[in-house]
Amino acid sequence: PSRPRLLHHPKGMVRKEACWVLSNIAAGTHQQIGAVIRAKGCMQRVTEMASTSEWEVRKEAIWVVSNIATGGTDKQIMSVIEAGAIDAVCSILSVNDTKMLLVALDAVDCILKLGMKLNKDYISFVDECDGLTMIETLQEHESEEVYQKAITLIETYFGAEDGEDDENLAPDVNGGTFSFGIPQKNIDEVECPANAGHSNAQPFTTYNFAS
């Protein structure tokens, strides 16, 4: 799609609707996602707007990033990460919008899962963007779904290091001896949200992008 020009439009409404169109394309097939990624300068501009634009524009931009992170191939997800996806999704984790928090948390989940799969340290990138601090704060969120997702992310990707907090574990008695244990998490048990049926696509309507 040839959308980069509209992504730089001075009118926020035009940029919002351009991102909306891209988010629906990004909720499609891998070929359609590839078309969005290949558009010169497109994803760099989208991730920039996801962090710095007006809120209505940011929301649509995050949908583009999240749809690719949750539905793209490994290579496509890596492409949006290189374009600034981690910083973009982490910037949403402090907003007071339950729906967008869930969208951002899903994206973080899939990015970190890919990092584990490919042995890439995306966990540190999230931490450097204050993502971990914000996810920890979300453990107190009023939404049960946000709370559960935050807990799952922390337990799966940011668990205690070897030896950390061992002094807080109650000993188990086994055959007259004491042992300490930390439950193990299986990364394969955590699945990224699928875009089955393009569930992340938003209803199509017609817009006039004329100035």
Eight-state DSSP code of residue 204 = P
pLDDT band at residue 4 using 50, 70 and 90 as cut-offs: confident
Predicted local confidence at residue 189, as pLDDT: 44
Kindly report the pTM of this predicted structure.
Answer: 0.75
Task: Please write the tens of the pLDDT for every residue from 105-114.
Answer: 999 999 999 9
> What CA–CA distance (Å, rounded) separates 61 from 198?
17
Alpha helix locations (H) across 30-185? 30-38, 42-52, 55-71, 74-82, 85-92, 98-118, 122-128, 131-137, 144-157
Task: Please write the tens of the pLDDT for every residue from 121-157.
Answer: 999 999 999 999 999 999 999 999 999 999 999 999 9
> Residue 181 above 60 pLDDT?
no
> What CA–CA distance (Å, rounded) separates 28 from 14?
22
> Residue 1 above 90 pLDDT?
no
Kindly report the backbone phi and psi dihedral angles of residue 172, in degrees, each rounded to the nearest multiple of 5, phi listed first.
-95, 140
Task: Please write the tens of the pLDDT for every residue from 6-58.
Answer: 999 999 999 999 999 999 999 999 999 999 999 989 999 999 999 999 999 99
122, 86 in Cβ contact below 8 A? yes
> Residue 186 above 60 pLDDT?
no
Tell me the pLDDT of the chain averaged across its residues: 83
> Residue 206 above 50 pLDDT?
no
Percentage of residues of the chain with pLDDT beyond 70: 74
Task: Please write the tens of the pLDDT for every residue from 151-169.
Answer: 999 999 998 544 444 444 4
> What CA–CA distance (Å, rounded) separates 33 from 207?
22
